[in-house]
């Protein structure tokens, strides 16, 4: 059993994870249109991961006996200045998701709902990993640059990260 406040907050998070999935899928379309197939593959894979995050939350809410609700999902941004803009947007977005997860964890703790608190630890670790991953990519963009050959190298490098296991991404 979970409180109505917590179920509402979990449902909001379901919407946020669905939005994340849509945002990354939309970013993959932008990358494709720019000929950045490595980045497009990376974003598409990441969109799938976000869908899994959404479904994991959905299942948890259902398992507690509460009702999972998928609310309205706003349209994601579809245009970007360049690949640096894409990854800066991604990192900023993940930082807002981390804040939302932290707020959920705080509510679970305040309510002494240790089952939900425990469940959410997976998301805490995931956010740490994702922020690190996107900071890492932005560092590479900064070091390699995105002029001519640099952009080609970035696309190859990000494409490789998209295929790596989480442990290899760091």
Binding residues vs ligand FEO (CB under 6 A)? 17, 20, 50, 53, 94, 97, 130
Is 7 or 18 the residue whose CB approaches ligand FEO more closely? 18
Q: Given its phi and psi angles, is residue 165 left (phi above 0), alpha (psi -120 to 50 degrees) or beta?
A: beta
Distance CA 82, CA 133 (A): 19
Q: Which is nearer to ligand FEO, 17 or 155 (CB)?
A: 17
Give the 3-state secondary structure of residue 2: coil
Supply the minimum distance, in Å, between the C-beta of residue 164 and ligand FEO.
16
CA atoms within 13 A of residue 118's CA, in its CB half-sphere: 3
Query: Closest distance between ligand FEO and the C-beta of residue 1, in Å?
Result: 25
CB of 94 to ligand FEO, least distance (A): 5
Judged by beta carbon, residue 46 or residue 151, the one nearer ligand FEO is: 46
Distance in Å from the first CA to the final CA of the chain: 37
**DSSP secondary structure letter of residue 147:** S
Shortest separation between residue 21's beta carbon and ligand FEO, angstroms: 8
The whole-angstrom separation of Cα 74 and Cα 91 is 19
- Of 55 and 69, the one with the shorter C-beta distance to ligand FEO is 55
């Amino acid at each position: 059993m979970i409180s109505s406040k917590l179920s509402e907050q979990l449902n909001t998070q379901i919407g946020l994870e669905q939005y994340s999935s849509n945002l990354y899928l939309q970013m993959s379309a932008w990358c494709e249109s720019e000929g950045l197939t490595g980045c497009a593959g990376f974003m598409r894979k990441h969109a799938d991961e976000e869908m899994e995050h959404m479904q994991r939350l959905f299942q948890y809410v259902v398992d507690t006996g509460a009702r999972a609700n998928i609310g309205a999902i706003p349209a994601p941004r579809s245009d970007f200045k360049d690949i640096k803009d894409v990854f800066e947007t991604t990192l900023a977005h993940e930082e807002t998701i981390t804040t939302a997860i932290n707020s959920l964890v705080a509510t679970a703790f305040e309510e002494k709902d240790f089952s939900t608190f425990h469940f959410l630890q997976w998301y805490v670790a995931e956010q740490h990993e994702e922020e690190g991953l996107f900071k890492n990519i932005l560092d590479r963009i900064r070091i390699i640059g995105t002029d001519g050959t640099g952009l080609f190298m970035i696309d190859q490098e990000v494409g490789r990260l998209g295929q790596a296991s989480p442990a290899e991404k760091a």
